[in-house]
Amino acid sequence: MLLPTKSAHVHADFNMTKTVFRNLLSNAIKFTHENGKIDASAITHDNYLEISITDDGIGVPKDRISELFGDGEHASTNGTKNETGSGLGLALCKEFVELNGGKIWLDPDCEVGCRIKFTLPIATSHKYAQ
């Protein structure tokens, strides 16, 4: 059952989760043209929270999707204002999300721009909520 999320407590390392959000939002800004749209949303499932970061930017070429979270070479793509990067950000996001019991992926059904989703386990006790 999917429910719109107003508030949810997840069991995850605060600093790792903050780094994932910061990197995904920075990428959305980097690859979205001025006056573009970026949206962050979340949906609760039975035992996890699914977070989506969506932009209407330049998107990811289909032949590069498999490279995004890979463990091999990290290719960087320049942003809309020719910003550069190391190509390590999404690999780091993947590692942090998985260390916290979640998954991360690029939504292949996004028709314009890019939508990256990741999950984190919902806390079974409020002792984890901060």
pLDDT in tens, 106-119: 988 777 888 999 99
Alpha carbon distance 95, 83 (integer Å) = 24
What does pLDDT average to over the chain?
81
Tell me if 74 is assigned to some domain.
yes
Residues 44/3, Cβ–Cβ less than 8 Å: yes
Report pLDDT digits (tens) over 28-38: 998 888 899 99
Alpha carbon distance 2, 103 (integer Å) = 18
Per-residue pLDDT, 110: 76
Residues 122/49, Cβ–Cβ less than 8 Å: yes
Tell me if 130 is assigned to some domain.
no
Q: Please give the average per-residue pLDDT across 72-99, as a whole number.
A: 70
58 compared with 62, residue with greater pLDDT: 58
Tell me if 2 is assigned to some domain.
no
Tell me if 16 is assigned to some domain.
yes
49 compared with 58, residue with greater pLDDT: 49
Tell me if 128 is assigned to some domain.
no
DSSP for the chain reads --EE-S---B-S-HHHHHHHHHHHHHHHHHTS-TT--EEEEEEE-SSEEEEEEEE-SS---GGGGGGTT-SS-------TT-----S-HHHHHHHHHHHTT--EEE-TT--SSEEEEEEEEBPSSGGG--
The pTM is what?
Answer: 0.79
Identify the CA nearest to 23 among candidates 65, 72, 71, 86: 86
> What is the total count of domains within the chain?
1
Tell me if 112 is assigned to some domain.
yes
* CATH code of 45's domain: 3.30.565.10
